[in-house]
Amino acid sequence: MLLVNGVWLNAGADYVNAEEKGSGTPLPRIPPLRGRMGLEFNYRGFIVRPELVLVNRQDRT
């Protein structure tokens, strides 16, 4: 989303909930809830993208 000329807001989130069909056991190596937010500054061909990534605790291992 464009905030002002040359500055963009980037955001996203993802979540996966996976279980074995037969037993309902959580599958290994499934990432927890994750979100990110960042800004993108574009000035005369230079781009700067600071970003914050937040991750929830995974307790379904």
C-alpha pair distances (Å), 47 with each of 37, 38, 44, 52, 55:
16, 13, 8, 17, 26
* Measured CA angle at 50 (ends 44, 56), to 5 deg: 155
Residues 9-23 pLDDT 10s: 999 999 998 899 999
Q: Tell whether 28 is covered by a domain.
A: yes
* Strands of 1-61, DSSP E: 2-4, 7-14, 34-43, 46-48, 51-55
Structural domain for 6, as ranges? 2-55
Residue with tokens 């000329």: 5
Q: Tell whether 24 is covered by a domain.
A: yes
Q: Tell whether 61 is covered by a domain.
A: no
Give pTM, 2 decimals: 0.67
Q: Tell whether 60 is covered by a domain.
A: no
Q: Tell whether 19 is covered by a domain.
A: yes
Residues 2-57 pLDDT 10s: 888 889 999 999 999 889 999 988 888 888 899 999 999 998 889 999 999 999 98
Number of domains comprising the chain: 1
